[in-house]
């Protein structure tokens, strides 16, 4: 009996405290997480240097609304990307799709890295076989002495 | 002169060539992937008479233009005189897509500065605009007799773009 | 009157730079003492004139002279005085004048601090700097004159609200000091190529100038990142925006240059490579200038673009870089040789690190310019954004950071692998332990967090292993301390980016007065929003209460509406802490008293900039090493080693 009363009291108390935990702006945090992840990889077409996730432009809000709908309907990431690309082109994706025109972009750095390190190793091996610079001749040594003496006097 | 020491210069030359070409391009312009694709279908209420609808189907068999405009769009005023000319000369049917606008504001603008459109449809939430890949206002789509988008004009139609690009294309499409 | 004075001073400066760029150079080639002797006075005159010009522009801002178009476009009477001053470089024309001012300042410094160099070399170096100044001043006068007048004068517009912040005073200035500082290394390299004398002496002279420029650039980039973090409202600190990349590429190449110069100075090796890097670092500075001001790439930083300006800078780029690389192709092959070294040695390991840094810079360049390439080839329009850069940059840099810990332990000429492995034993163990424990404490293991913690501990551990024995036997030389400090800075930086990237928390919520939201374990209570007037804006100021470390504190994020701009500006409220920031930013007002609010917990985010500061401090430490102060002691030491080699 006492326990029920305590529980009832607690229930009333929490109801009385009208200050509450803030509701997420979005109704469904899981959907929102996915929305943020997808839209962060897309460009806002109006403020072209912000991602679709962060931009406050009107079109960005509209597009986020569309994307949210599609996520709720259970569409996959691929389908959502296709939706955007078929309307706005590859330009809207911050992660360039891998296609023949972007092979150089995606593979270039790694080919460059491998090639550069290989070229370096070849160079280093070849270099070991080269002569050391010649020792100073006596004449050159005298000249060096004279120059150093000069330098000290200034 | 050992050849490999010329490599940096050669690479620089290639980069400069691209940069020079880049100066002639506009990086902010987003070309439409809908060119040569069927115009997305829609069914919207008309601006003047909300109980009447319009779909692009009804324009099949004719070459026509869909012009995206809004009362809050300042750049639209630049192309408005040209659009008025077009409607007077009846060169091509002009349908307006009133984009994310309030009906009273839109109607007031048409009344004040003239209505070049055969009719306008009202896209309040911008969904149809999104389907057409609209990202700014004004934009204009040239659609052929089979309902395929043949050209998109980004920004106001200028006299130059009209006479050099759009009109020749209209004539070509009218002949087929 | 004052603007005309400034304009006239600039024209005179152009004439002086033309003299400075030609006569001393010819004089050095033909051994004409009178022309060689012109170099230093010319540098002094150039500085005086450009400073006068810059001061006139600043005065026009402080005096609210709106008959000057540039002033009218970037200022108004309500702008606080400090920002009126900062607005001097807030736009394209003024920022170029700042460039010119700093270039003349560095030239003066070279003229002043080069007493121990022979006059012919000084003449050549100053001449190259004079030629670059000439190009820059020509550009300003022909296409970007800040002193153009309009009559009648009207009250001005405003400085872009985003720039009305202390960041404006420091970020561009530090950044430009760095960009322009690399011109000095460039000038030394060109002078050496012209003289046909690429040797260890050239490397020794270049080093302090390069280090100084690098310090400024490091600070400039860090300031920009920190500024974006608190002014843009969503707590990001790096966006791989083209202009950010434009500053990062010279930094990467500059870092490679610093390390390559060390080898050239000590061992006489890599001369051609080092010269190429010196040309490269400054070329990338110029390229960055082009990218920002020509309208060729979309960027949040882009100044208003004018095709004429783009063409001019491209021409400048072609002349400066084209001539340098041609000179390089012609002269550098003759400068072969240098000390020999083994396949596994400090030299070769430094070279590997160097090459990887250049690959990294090259990747950033590729990604930044790729949209332009594709567009120019009519293959469509692409975007290359953070997902690309993060995927490519991190794998390339991982080996660099790993090497960073090992290379200082490698001996010159022939490194002892087993000795290095032994000394790196406990840093390796510490790194594995940290990578196992820390991510767990923070909230979970991912590939990136494990890798980041491992690398940071690995580098820090190696630093300790090197410092401990040296400290026991007294204070090690400044250059050694500087190196350790800078490398430690890298470790601290990596801790910051790993932990904030892996474990930050964000909540986007709707709040009414009285609501609380818990982020990162901290409860934030929304008290309310008040309207607060500012000097040239009105602000909605929110009040939040949060308890931290037993104390309750208030945060006041603002949403400012500047009179001059339609876009509202967010001023985030941040409580910075050693192990993390609490970050609140106001979104939009909703119905009634509710507001959209973004609350973030950013663990260890300040370690990012602390790491950069440590790197800069390390550089400063290196600069203070007396080895770079030419002295009788150094000359005596040189004589000693000469005698010894004769014996």
Mutation target for C interface from B9, B34, B133, B154: give the one with most C CBs within 10 A.
B9
Q: Give pLDDT, residue A154.
A: 44
Q: b/e map of A114-142 (b: 16 or more CB within 10 Å)?
A: eebeeebeeebeebeeeeeeeeeeeeeee
The mean-pLDDT minimum among A55-64, B58-67, C105-114, C417-426 falls in: A55-64
Structural domain that includes position A65: 24-92
**In the predicted structure, residue C628 carries a pLDDT above the cut 70:** no
In a domain, A153, yes or no: no
pLDDT in tens, C5-20: 999 999 999 999 999 9
Confidence of residue C167 (pLDDT cuts 50, 70, 90): confident
C544 in contact with A, Cβ within 8 Å: no
Percent of chain A beyond pLDDT 90? 36
C646 in contact with A, Cβ within 8 Å: yes
pLDDT in tens, B5-25: 899 999 999 999 999 998 888
Confidence of residue B45 (pLDDT cuts 50, 70, 90): very high
Q: Across the interface, do A59 and B34 touch by the CB < 8 Å criterion?
A: no
pTM of the model: 0.90
Which candidate from A62, A89, A91 shows the least CB-CB separation from B130? A62
Which candidate from B1, B2, B22 shows the least CB-CB separation from C376? B22
Q: Give pLDDT, residue C303.
A: 62
A148 in contact with C, Cβ within 8 Å: yes
A59 in contact with B, Cβ within 8 Å: yes
Q: Give pLDDT, residue C627.
A: 62
Which candidate from C279, C280, C329 shows the least CB-CB separation from B1? C329
Q: Rounded mean pLDDT of C588-600?
A: 87
Which candidate from C339, C367, C514 shows the least CB-CB separation from A18? C514
Q: Give pLDDT, residue B30.
A: 84
- B partners (3+ CB pairs within 8 A) are A, C
**In the predicted structure, residue C235 carries a pLDDT above the cut 50:** yes
Residue C477 DSSP code: P
Percent of chain C beyond pLDDT 90? 62
A14 in contact with C, Cβ within 8 Å: no
Q: Give pLDDT, residue C473.
A: 85
> At a CB cut-off of 8 Å and minimum separation 6, what does C277 contact?
C253, C256, C257, C260, C354, C358
B28 in contact with A, Cβ within 8 Å: yes
Q: Give pLDDT, residue C568.
A: 80
Which of C239, C514, C61 minimizes the C-alpha distance to A54?
C239
Q: How many CB atoms lie within 10 A of CB A149?
A: 11
Residues of C in contact with A151 (CB under 8 A): 116, 635
Domain ranges of chain B: 34-175
Q: Rounded mean pLDDT of C151-173?
A: 82
pLDDT in tens, C77-96: 888 888 888 889 988 899 99
B113 in contact with A, Cβ within 8 Å: no
A32 and A85 inside one domain: yes
Q: What residue in B sits closest to C372 (Cα-Cα)?
A: B22
Residues of C in contact with A91 (CB under 8 A): 380-383
Q: Give pLDDT, residue B105.
A: 92
Q: Give pLDDT, residue A51.
A: 87
Average pLDDT, chain B: 91
Which of C339, C350, C319, C337 minimizes the C-alpha distance to C257?
C350
Confidence of residue C386 (pLDDT cuts 50, 70, 90): very high
Q: b/e map of C381-398 (b: 16 or more CB within 10 Å)?
A: bbbbbbbbbeebbeebbe
The answer to whether residues C186 and C254 touch, using CB atoms and an 8 Å cutoff, is no
Residues of C in contact with B29 (CB under 8 A): 381
Alpha helices for C377-445 (secondary structure H): 386-406, 417-423, 425-442
Q: How far is A1 from chain C (nearest CA, A)?
A: 34
Q: How far is B10 from chain C (nearest CA, A)?
A: 9
Q: Give the tokens for residue C38.
A: 């012109």
Give one DSSP letter per residue of chain A, joined into a string.
-HHHHHHHHHHHHHHH----BPEESSS-HHHHHHHHHHHHTBB-SSSTTSBTTT--SHHHHHHHHHHHHHHHTT--HHHHHHHHHHHH-GGGBSS---SGGGHHHHHHHHHHHHHHHHHHHHHHHHHHTSPPPPPPPHHHHHHHHHHHHHHHH-
Q: Rounded mean pLDDT of C100-126?
A: 93
Q: How far is C37 from chain A (nearest CA, A)?
A: 18
B31 in contact with C, Cβ within 8 Å: yes
pLDDT in tens, C281-291: 999 999 988 88
Mutation target for C interface from B12, B31, B35, B133: give the one with most C CBs within 10 A.
B12
Q: How many CB atoms lie within 10 A of CB C156?
A: 25
Q: Rounded mean pLDDT of C418-430?
A: 94
Work out how many CB contacts closer than 8 A connect A with B: 40
Q: Across the interface, do A87 and B28 touch by the CB < 8 Å criterion?
A: no
Of residues A137 and C201, more confidently modeled = C201
Q: Give pLDDT, residue C508.
A: 81
Q: Give pLDDT, residue C631.
A: 53
Percent of chain B beyond pLDDT 70? 99
User: Helix (H, G, I), strand (E, B), or coil: what is residue B80?
Assistant: helix
Q: How far is A100 from chain C (nearest CA, A)?
A: 11
Residues of A in contact with B33 (CB under 8 A): 85-89
**In the predicted structure, residue C634 carries a pLDDT above the cut 70:** no
Mutation target for B interface from C292, C296, C304, C366: give the one with most B CBs within 10 A.
C296
pLDDT in tens, C171-196: 999 999 999 999 999 999 999 999 98
Q: Give pLDDT, residue A19.
A: 63
Residues of B in contact with C373 (CB under 8 A): 18
B141 in contact with A, Cβ within 8 Å: no
Residues of C in contact with A21 (CB under 8 A): 515-518
**C-beta pairs of B88-95 under 8 Å, 24+ apart in sequence:** B91/B167, B91/B170, B92/B63, B92/B64, B92/B65, B92/B170, B93/B59, B93/B62, B93/B64, B93/B65, B93/B118, B94/B64, B94/B65, B94/B67, B94/B118, B95/B54, B95/B59, B95/B64, B95/B65, B95/B66, B95/B67, B95/B119, B95/B120, B95/B121
Length of chain C: 647
Q: b/e map of C82-104 (b: 16 or more CB within 10 Å)?
A: ebbbbbbbbbbbbbbbbbbbbbb
Of residues C268 and B160, more confidently modeled = B160
Domain ranges of chain C: 1-153, 167-398, 399-499+614-622, 505-603
Parallel, antiparallel, or unpaired: how do β-strands B119-123 and B94-99 relate?
parallel
Q: How many CA atoms lie within 13 A of B159 on its CB side?
A: 2
Work out how many CB contacts closer than 8 A connect A with C: 154
Q: Rounded mean pLDDT of C464-493?
A: 93
Q: Give pLDDT, residue A26.
A: 65
Domains in chain A, number: 2
A55 and A108 inside one domain: no
Residue C233 DSSP code: S
Q: Give pLDDT, residue B94.
A: 94
In a domain, A13, yes or no: no
Which candidate from C299, C363, C516 shows the least CB-CB separation from A49? C299
User: Helix (H, G, I), strand (E, B), or coil: what is residue C413?
Assistant: coil
For B159, counting Cβ atoms within 10 Å of its Cβ (0-12 exposed, 13-18 middle, 19+ buried), the class is exposed
Q: Give pLDDT, residue C234.
A: 75
**In the predicted structure, residue A25 carries a pLDDT above the cut 80:** no
Q: Does domain B34-175 have CATH number 3.40.30.10?
A: yes
pLDDT in tens, C196-216: 888 888 898 999 999 999 999
Give the range with max mean pLDDT: C89-93, C390-394, C537-541: C390-394
Which candidate from B5, B20, B29 shows the least CB-CB separation from C328? B5
CA distance C355 to C400: 9
Q: Give pLDDT, residue C643.
A: 66
E strand residue ranges, B55-130: 64-69, 94-99, 119-123
Q: Give pLDDT, residue A136.
A: 63
B155 in contact with A, Cβ within 8 Å: no
Q: Across the interface, do A22 and C511 touch by the CB < 8 Å criterion?
A: yes
pLDDT in tens, C36-61: 999 999 999 999 999 999 999 999 99
CATH label of the domain that carries residue A44 = 1.10.8.640
Q: Give pLDDT, residue A16.
A: 46
Q: What residue in B sits closest to A88 (Cα-Cα)?
A: B133
A52 and A38 inside one domain: yes
């Amino acid at each position: 009996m006492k326990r029920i009363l305590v529980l009832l009291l607690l229930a009333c108390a929490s109801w009385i405290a009208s200050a509450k935990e803030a509701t997420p702006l979005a109704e469904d945090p899981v959907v929102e997480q996915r929305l943020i992840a997808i839209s962060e990889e897309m460009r806002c077409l109006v403020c072209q240097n912000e991602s679709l996730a962060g931009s406050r432009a009107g079109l960005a809000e509209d597009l986020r609304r569309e994307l949210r709908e599609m996520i709720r309907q259970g569409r996959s990431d691929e389908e959502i990307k296709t939706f955007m690309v078929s309307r706005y082109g590859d330009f809207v994706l911050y992660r360039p799709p891998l296609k023949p025109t972007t092979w150089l972009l995606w593979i270039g750095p790694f080919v460059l890295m491998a090639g550069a390190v290989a070229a370096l190793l070849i160079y280093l091996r070849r270099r070991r076989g080269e002569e050391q610079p010649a020792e100073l001749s006596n004449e050159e040594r005298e000249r060096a002495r004279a120059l150093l003496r000069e330098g000290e006097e200034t | 002169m050992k050849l490999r020491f010329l490599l940096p210069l050669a690479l620089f030359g290639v980069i400069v060539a691209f940069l020079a070409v880049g100066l002639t391009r506009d990086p902010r312009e987003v070309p439409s992937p809908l060119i040569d694709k069927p115009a997305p279908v829609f069914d919207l209420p008309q601006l003047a008479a909300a109980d009447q609808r319009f779909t692009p189907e009804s324009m099949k068999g004719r070459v026509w233009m869909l012009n995206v405009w809004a009362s809050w769009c300042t750049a639209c005023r630049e192309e408005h005189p040209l659009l008025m000319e077009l409607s007077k000369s009846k060169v091509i049917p002009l349908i307006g897509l009133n984009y994310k606008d309030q009906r009273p504001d839109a109607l007031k603008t048409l009344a004040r500065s003239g209505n070049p459109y055969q009719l306008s449809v009202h896209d309040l939430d911008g969904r149809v605009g999104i389907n057409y890949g609209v990202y700014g206002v004004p934009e204009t789509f040239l659609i052929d007799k089979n309902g395929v988008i043949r050209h998109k004009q980004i920004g106001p139609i200028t006299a130059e773009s009209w006479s050099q690009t759009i009109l020749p294309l209209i004539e070509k499409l009218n002949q087929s | 009157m004052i603007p005309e004075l400034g304009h006239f001073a600039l024209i005179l400066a152009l004439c002086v730079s033309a003299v400075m760029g030609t006569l001393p150079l010819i004089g050095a080639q033909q051994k004409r003492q009178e022309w060689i002797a012109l170099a230093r006075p010319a540098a002094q005159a150039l500085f005086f004139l450009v400073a006068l010009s810059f001061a006139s522009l600043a005065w026009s801002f402080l005096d609210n002279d709106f008959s000057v178009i540039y002033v009218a476009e970037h200022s108004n009477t309500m702008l606080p005085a400090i920002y009126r001053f900062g607005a001097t470089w807030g736009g394209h024309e003024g920022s170029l004048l700042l460039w010119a001012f700093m270039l003349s300042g560095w030239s003066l410094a070279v003229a002043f601090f080069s007493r121990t160099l022979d006059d012919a070399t000084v003449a050549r170096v100053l001449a190259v700097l004079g030629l670059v100044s000439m190009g820059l001043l020509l550009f300003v006068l022909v296409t970007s004159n800040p002193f153009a007048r309009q009559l009648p004068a009207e009250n001005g517009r405003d400085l872009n609200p985003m720039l009305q912040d202390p960041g404006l005073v420091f970020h561009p200035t530090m950044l430009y000091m760095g960009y322009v500082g690399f011109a000095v290394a460039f000038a030394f390299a060109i002078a050496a190529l012209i003289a046909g004398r690429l040797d260890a002496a050239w490397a020794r002279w270049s080093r302090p100038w390069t280090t100084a420029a690098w310090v400024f650039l490091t600070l400039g980039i860090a300031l920009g990142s920190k500024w974006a973090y608190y002014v843009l409202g969503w707590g990001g600190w790096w966006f791989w925006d083209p202009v950010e990349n434009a500053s990062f590429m010279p930094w990467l190449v500059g870092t490679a240059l610093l390390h390559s110069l060390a080898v050239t100075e000590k061992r006489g090796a890599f001369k051609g490579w080092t010269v190429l890097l010196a040309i490269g670092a400054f070329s990338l500075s110029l390229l960055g200038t082009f990218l920002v001001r020509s309208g060729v790439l979309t960027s949040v930083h882009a100044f208003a673009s004018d095709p004429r300006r783009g063409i001019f800078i491209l021409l400048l780029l072609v002349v400066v870089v084209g001539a340098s690389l041609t000179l390089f192709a012609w002269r550098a092959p003759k400068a072969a040789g240098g000390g020999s070294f083994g396949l596994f040695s400090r030299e070769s390991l430094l070279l590997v690190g160097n090459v990887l840094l250049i690959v990294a810079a090259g990747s950033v360049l590729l990604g930044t310019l790729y949209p332009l390439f594709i567009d120019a080839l009519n293959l469509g329009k692409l975007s290359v954004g953070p997902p690309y850069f993060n995927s490519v940059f991190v794998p390339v840099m991982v080996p660099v950071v790993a090497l960073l810990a090992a290379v200082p332990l490698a001996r010159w000429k022939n490194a002892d692998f087993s000795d290095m492995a032994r000394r790196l034993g406990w840093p390796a163990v510490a790194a594995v332990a940290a990578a196992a424990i820390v991510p767990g404490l923070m909230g979970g293991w991912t590939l990136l967090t494990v890798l980041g913690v491992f690398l940071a501990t690995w580098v820090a551990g190696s630093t300790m292993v090197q410092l401990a024995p040296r400290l026991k036997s007294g204070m090690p030389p400044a250059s050694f301390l500087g190196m350790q400090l800078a490398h430690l800075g890298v470790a601290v930086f990596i801790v910051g980016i790993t932990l904030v990237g892996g474990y930050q928390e964000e909540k986007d919520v709707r709040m009414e007065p009285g609501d609380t939201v818990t982020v990162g374990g901290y409860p934030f209570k929304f008290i309310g929003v008040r309207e607060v007037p500012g000097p040239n804006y009105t602000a909605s100021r929110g009040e939040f209460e949060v308890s931290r470390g037993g104390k309750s504190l208030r945060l006041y994020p603002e949403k400012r509406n500047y009179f001059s701009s339609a876009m509202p500006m967010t001023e985030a409220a941040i409580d910075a802490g050693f192990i993390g920031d609490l970050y609140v930013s106001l979104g939009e007002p909703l119905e009634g008293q509710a507001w959209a609010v973004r609350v973030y917990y950013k663990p260890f985010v300040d370690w990012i900039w602390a790491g950069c500061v440590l790197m800069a401090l390390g550089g400063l430490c290196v600069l203070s090493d007396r080895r770079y102060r030419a002295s009788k002691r150094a000359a005596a030491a040189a004589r000693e080693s000469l005698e010894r080699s004769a014996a």
